[in-house]
Structures are given as structure tokens and as C-alpha cells.
Amino acid sequence: MVIAKARAVDGPDKPFRAAEIQRRDLDSHDVLIEIHYAGICHSDIHTAHGEWGPVNYPLVPGHEIAGVVAAVGPEVTKYQIGDRVGVGCMVDSCGACENCQKGEEQYCLKGNIPTYAGVDKYGEPTQGGYSTHIVVTEGFVVRIPDSIPLDAAAPLLCAGITTYSPLKHWNAGPGKKVAVVGMGGLGHMAVKIAHAMEAEVTVLSQSLSKKEDSLEFGAVNHYATKDPATFQQLAGYFDLIINTVSAPIDLNAYLSLLTLDGTLVNVGAPPEPLAVNVFSLIGHRRSFAGSLIGGIRETQEMLNFCAEHNIAPKIEVISADEIDEAYKRVLASDVKYRFVIDISTM
């Protein structure tokens, strides 16, 4: 058993504190990973604050994990000690259901096992990547291509796959007009990936303050959503809208920007229900959809795609003592564009 150093919270309003957690002995297919970097995802904040339902504290969040293999179980075939690897939002699933068989483990009919705030098959609570080590079964570990630095690789494991999967599913590519709502951690990755897929990308952000960045990341346009003229100007324009905002927005206004058969996909997850007027959909056979991360095979495909197209998130590396401050800044949209914890400071 490995005792990992970690940062944990004890309740919805509590600050992070130093903690020690036990990582299980390696089962035959388990991999022990020495974590080098962990990204801070908005989901970590929702979960730590108890906004997505009851949480068993203490909680160690973190599902954007990048590190190096430190040990392997006796029957591991995919990885060796020293390999550069990542772990995303889930660490296991049933493996047998229809969706798992298709490689869509995130939609496991028995429920995937989340990297933190879940219960593993041994009945133990799962604890995430704000820690020095983690043990994961090899089927839920992905390989990080050599050309992607580990700190920049971390956010790809959630922000990268969460945007890559719907862009791929809804055929973002040449001739497609894609809008990205929100220019945060998810949004900036959506822009980079959709641009690399050769779609025409437009950013819809509250203000024009991030316009230069949008254009640098590959968008052709950036509009302020607080300006009502934006919605008149772009009515019926887009084939696909990726909504990355995890706060309520006026969905009907955004649906009006879709062309015939266009789709608005939610990847952000506000805790509150959202109101959709059916007339926003039926007039132009529009779809209102959602998408959850991506399967393991697709996550590997996304990492390879990012390496091939030289794409990485824009990050700000922080120490373990700065997590509380980073959470405040994420909530204030004051991050360009993802915080990544340097685990060596733990």
C-alpha cells in the first residue's frame, strides 16, 4: 500500500488542507502512477462545494491527472515503469454492458466509477488527483504522447476530451460553422480543437475582453453576448453550438442562432434546471443535446490528435497551497485558461 500526500476538503465551505490517503495494493491489472500535475476543473469546485449532491468528506478532487508509471501489477500489458500517462474523469466501469463494449465507458449502464467522490469495486471511496499517487486499472489509463509536456497534458484529460468528443460526434469539420459559448478551460480547448478539425469557429463570450485570445486560438470571430445585436446578427448561422458554461444561460436566445438541423450541445453542467421553449426547436428542426466526457479509446485518440496538431491548453501552474485562491479565481472567470497544480509542491 502506498500512502499518498494529498490536499483534501472537509466540507462545502472548508478550505483545502494537507492530508494523507491510502492507495490500494496493486491488483493484477493495476498501475501505480506518480502524479506530476493535476488540472483544476470546474467540476472539482461544484463537487467540493456539494453543489451536485451530497459528498462524503473528506474529499480529494482532481480528474485531470498527468504523471509517470511507478509500478505495475503482474498482469499489466499496456504500460511499463517510466511511461508518461494520464487519467481522466473515470477509473473503472462494468466492462460488460452494451455501452462499455462499444468503448463508451462514460455511459456505462451500471454507472462508471468517477475518479473522485465515487466508490470503487472494493467498496472504498475514490480520491482524485490532488495527490502524489493514484492506483488505476490499466484499461482506464491513457498514454501521453512525448511531444505534450505533462503540465499541459493534464487539462486534456477532462477539458480536452469533453470538447473533442461532441465536436467529433456532431461532425465539426470543413464547411461547418461552430460556435463555442464561454471562453474558459473547456471553451478555449473547444476553439483549438474545432479549428484543428478545420471547422469555422466563432466564440460567444460575455464581453470582448478575450477576443485577441480567441483569434490566436483559431477562431475567426468573437462576439460579446451582453450585446443584444450579437443575437440578431448571428440568427440562424451555426451548425453546432458547444455550450461550455456551467451557469444558467438564456438557451432560447442561443438556440435561435442555429441553422436548419443545427444542434446545441451542453458540456458545462449548471446545477439548476434550464428552460427550453419548444418553439425554439421545432421551427428549424433543431436539437438540444448533451455530452459527457468521452470513452477511453476516444480519449487516447484525442491525445494523439492534439499531439499531431500541436494543440495544448494555455495553463497557469500553481502550488498546492494556492488551490483555494485558484477556486475563487475560476469562479470569477479570472483564469487563462486552466490552473494546473504542480504536485511536487505537495
Report the nearest approach of Zn ion to the CB of residue 41 (Å): 3
Q: Least CB distance from residue 135 to Zn ion, whole Å? A: 20
H or E element, residue 133: strand 133-137
Residue 95, sorted as left (phi over 0), alpha (psi -120 to 50) or beta, turns out to be left
Residue 189 engages Zn ion in binding (rule: CB under 5 A):
no
* Options 21, 72, 76, 108; binder of Zn ion; rule CB under 5 A: 108
Q: Please name the residues in contact with 247: beta carbons below 8 A apart, sequence gap of 6 or more.
A: 268, 270
Quick check: 94 binds Zn ion (CB under 5 A)? Answer: yes
- Distance of alpha carbon 111 from alpha carbon 220, whole angstroms: 39
Helices (H) and strands (E) in the chain, counts: 11, 17
Near Zn ion by CB under 5 A: residue from 144, 158, 241, 264: 158
From 85-93, 223-231, 276-284, 315-323, give the range in contact with Zn ion by CB under 5 A.
Answer: 85-93
The CA distance from 188 to 180, in Å, is 8
Give least dist CB 298 to Zn ion, A: 15
**Is residue 41 near Zn ion by the rule CB under 5 A?**
yes
| Rounded Cα distance, 237 and 272, in Å | 28
Q: Can you tell me which of 29, 43, 192, 251 binds Zn ion, judged by CB under 5 A?
A: 43
Residue (97 or 335) nearer to Zn ion, CB: 97
Cβ-based neighbours of 324, under 8 Å, separated by 6 or more: 15, 16
Among 91, 100, 191, 201, binds Zn ion (CB under 5 A): 100
Dist CA 36 CA 312 (whole Å): 17
Query: x/- string (CB under 5 A) for Zn ion, residues 221-240?
Result: --------------------
Unique residue bearing C-alpha cell 508518461: 84
Binders of Zn ion among residues 284 to 323 (CB under 5 A) are none
Asked if residue 65 binds Zn ion (CB under 5 A), the reply is no
Kindly tell me which of 94 and 317 has the beta carbon lying closer to Zn ion.
94
Least CB distance to Zn ion at residue 15 (A): 21
**177-181/200-205 β-pairing:** parallel
Between 161 and 255, name the residue whose CB sits nearer to Zn ion: 161
Q: What is the rounded CA–CA span in Å between residue 156 and residue 168?
A: 15
- Interacting residue with Zn ion among 19, 40, 93, 330 (CB under 5 A): 93
CA–CA separation, 143 vs 151, rounded Å?
14
Candidates 28-36, 156-164, 242-250, 297-305 — which segment interacts with Zn ion by CB under 5 A?
Answer: 156-164
| Closest CB to Zn ion among residues 167, 258 | 167
Positions that interact with Zn ion (CB under 5 A): 41, 43, 93-94, 97, 100, 108, 158
